[in-house]
Structure 1
């Protein structure tokens, strides 16, 4: 890492404790001509079937949570006209517990790199609409002390994702230019893999390198292995867009794995993984595919498949706001596995400096922030 980057590396924390309830959500829809003539209940049940059962949408209408052109809708069989504006107000709720403190590993005028603790979601989604890294970044940028107007001119946003249960280094852009260039870095890396280049070719052509540490079940016999198993999706209860799994018909993915430490007594192995593509849950899927699933992974087992394949029957039960209850089967956001984004190397998207070996250097703070074993540092 350059001397300038070393000087910019700071050990600081920011974060605001979460309020008991979030602010709820508001969803807007404009009725298309193809949907004209549908009743209100038909519209919502057809379009948002994964959000709530029929009885749940009826409950939301009865709760006066839906308006048509600004007026509260009280009749589920109200016929809709093309161009009508529908607004559904989701009631505030208490989101599941999540950490909120973020450690700053590096910051300049364009980038802020943070240590994300395990248990904190990167972007809003599902039950976590407020408790996310993005929300803390937004609150941090709008501290009253930053400028006389109340908010910084920059609005930092994460440029890639880490699973909710994954801890470690997360890149966030503070300007639109920085965000677009970092996004291009990731896209270029994935396109190289899709062209089926060799591992060495991938390394020379990429402008960003992410290295993880994982604790897997079993004592791995090989010292190094390259996994090229494609990753696709299958239908899975509780996951609207499908669950990512090892699939011959999926998209290309490449992970380079190196053994760091074997523990025969506890039947586990500490490995380092460099990913050449960024498929969702890639490391969890790839390591389980070769027979070494992450210790504590509630979802993926050997073969890169989920523990539960049989579809779950919906019992039409729902929460007080009408939405489906959480499925009983494990889902991708569940925590418990041991995965840490340990190191990143990149060409600075604005200054073109080589920021190599940007990694954890504060052992005590890393251990407190990440909930992963000390050996994974």
Structure 2
């Protein structure tokens, strides 16, 4: 089974769905259960320790005093309240305005088990940071509200990355797809010699299109730099970077166009592993960061890396203020998940899904460039 998005009589334009975002989100609730290790902690200690990535201590203090937290259904405004085992805590986040995000999604492929979407650049996949409602997941929930269960993304694309996002419609499909993604990444660990074709059966292939700074001289490059993390302001779990002590990662880069006049190159990248921000890191590691990338520079490291400091200032809702330095969710770069080939997790048929190229790539393909294919 092959699925493509080119307009032909047998393959019409994909369906599009999506509701405009309301001015304010609906507000959210977050639930916690006090377990034995946390018994005896005060309310402020519990939240400032267990959820320090959400807000600084003074931010949590404001939320408690504002009556945004209940214990066993009762609003508690005393931050020194001692917690007991089994108590249910609920933090109520007030409705708020979220930054701009596109809302329309194209359906590239759909059956009883899977749905593949064409995600626009600027739309986050799952809730996090400043985007709690304006996400792909929310649009799926709204679109599928009359169905028994909502499809869920089985992998992520960066907010600034466009293209194919695969979602599972059943628990079985989700389990099998998760195993397939994990298996693809694990193959890198056991097969560092990329020219040694240990497994000739293609179970999954992810191909991206990218626009990079500078002229890449080699027609093909294999990048195997490991990817690890380092402490970075505004990124609670650490920023992913090129690191010799990190986890194995493998990207195959193929040059499509060289635009000498504008000093950039259009490349196709197939990733063997799926480390976060892998393509951005690998291309910057070889000295050709994505054009417009606000974060990664030559060497696969961030443009700015101030020491980790304790910042007790907070935004209006008690959370952290938007970092002054660039963070991974910032947009501006050109990266598109163009093609996905995989064995269907239920039927075992071969699926080929293609997301149309955004205008910037079409323009570069038609420009006067040096083609090295």
Judge same fold: TM > 0.5, yes or no. yes
Query: Per-residue deviation at 1:8?
Result: 6.8
1:228 and 2:228 aligned: no
Which residue in the other structure is 1:182 paired with? 177
- For 1:45-77, what per-residue CA distance to the aligned partner results, in whole angstroms no more than 9, with x for missing partners? 222223222221221111101111111112112
Which residue in the other structure is 1:72 paired with? 75
Mapping 1:1-377, distance limit 5 Å: 2=2, 10-142=13-145, 151-200=146-195, 201=197, 204-311=200-307, 313-356=309-352, 358-360=353-355, 366-367=358-359, 374-375=363-364
Query: Per-residue deviation at 1:283?
Result: 0.2
Deviating more after overlay: 262-271 vs 47-56? 47-56
The 3 A distance-change label for structure 1 pair 9 and 122 is farther
Deviating more after overlay: 311-320 vs 242-251? 311-320
Greater helix proportion: 1
Query: Per-residue deviation at 1:376?
Result: 6.4
The 3 A distance-change label for structure 1 pair 154 and 66 is closer
Partner SS state of residue 204, structure 1: coil
Partner SS state of residue 199, structure 1: coil
User: Quick one: distance in 1 between partners of 2:67 and 2:165?
Assistant: 41
Query: Per-residue deviation at 1:26?
Result: 1.2
Count of residue pairs the alignment pairs up: 362
Partner SS state of residue 200, structure 2: helix
User: Quick one: distance in 1 between partners of 2:221 and 2:109?
Assistant: 32
Q: Contact conserved, 1:31 with 1:80, CA < 8 A, in 2?
A: yes
Deviating more after overlay: 1-10 vs 187-196? 1-10
User: Quick one: distance in 1 between partners of 2:350 and 2:202?
Assistant: 12
The 3 A distance-change label for structure 1 pair 4 and 373 is closer
User: Quick one: distance in 2 between partners of 1:311 and 1:183?
Assistant: 36
Deviating more after overlay: 224-233 vs 173-182? 173-182
The 3 A distance-change label for structure 1 pair 266 and 3 is closer
User: Quick one: distance in 2 between partners of 1:188 and 1:38?
Assistant: 41
- For 1:325-368, what per-residue CA distance to the aligned partner results, in whole angstroms no more than 9, with x for missing partners? 11101111000001011111111222222223x2135x6xx43x
Q: Contact conserved, 1:233 with 1:247, CA < 8 A, in 2?
A: yes
Aligned Cα root-mean-square deviation (Å): 2.2
Unaligned runs of 5+ in 2: 367-373
User: Quick one: distance in 1 between partners of 2:48 and 2:348?
Assistant: 50
Q: Contact conserved, 1:193 with 1:252, CA < 8 A, in 2?
A: yes
User: Quick one: distance in 2 between partners of 1:373 and 1:312?
Assistant: 41
TM-score for both structures, normalised by structure 2? 0.91
